[in-house]
Amino acid sequence: GESVGLHLPTLSVQEGDNSIINCAYSNSASDYFIWYKQESGKGPQFIIDIRSNMDKRQGQRVTVLLNKTVKHLSLQIAATQPGDSAVYFCAENRASGNTGKLIFGQGTTLQVKP
C-alpha cells in the first residue's frame, strides 16, 4: 500500500532540548497534513495540522513546517519533556481521487532522556 515516509524510526533527545521529527511525502497533490502522537497502549491523538497553502503553523510548544518544493514535513517540539515520549505519525490527505482516507507514515519513536 501507499505510505508517507519518515526519515528515522527512533529519535532520542535530552529533556529540555528541542526535537525535530521529519516526514517525506510523495504526492504533490496532497493538500492537508496532520501529525499524531501515540503513547504506549493508546490510540493516536491529533497534535497539529497544516494545509498546503501554508508553510508554517504553530501550536503550544509544537510547530509544523511544510516544504512543498521538496515534499517535506517536519514537527518541531520545543523544550522536550518526558511526557513527549511517544510514537509520532505524519499523515497526508490527497486532494485528487480522495475517498476520505489519510495516508500514514510508519512512525518515529521519540525517546526523551532525563
Q: Give the residues lining the site for another protein (CB under 8 A).
A: 1, 3, 31-32, 34, 36, 41-46, 49, 89, 91, 93, 98-102, 104-107
Our CB check for another protein shows the closer of 43 and 83 to be 43
Our CB check for another protein shows the closer of 43 and 114 to be 43
> What is d(CA 109, CA 26) in angstroms, rounded to the nearest whole number?
22
Burial environment of residue 36 by CB neighbours within 10 A (0 to 12, 13 to 18, 19 or more) = buried
> Least separation, in Å, of the C-beta of 98 and another protein?
7
> Least separation, in Å, of the C-beta of 20 and another protein?
21
Our CB check for another protein shows the closer of 77 and 107 to be 107
Instruction: Provide, for the chain, the percentages of residues in helix, strand and coil under a 3-state DSSP scheme, each rounded to the nearest 5.
Output: 5, 55, 40
Contacts of 108 (CB under 8 A, 6+ apart): 6, 7, 8, 9, 10, 11, 21, 22, 87, 88
> Least separation, in Å, of the C-beta of 63 and another protein?
17
Our CB check for another protein shows the closer of 19 and 93 to be 93
Q: Which residue is it, cell 490510540? A: 43
> Least separation, in Å, of the C-beta of 16 and another protein?
29
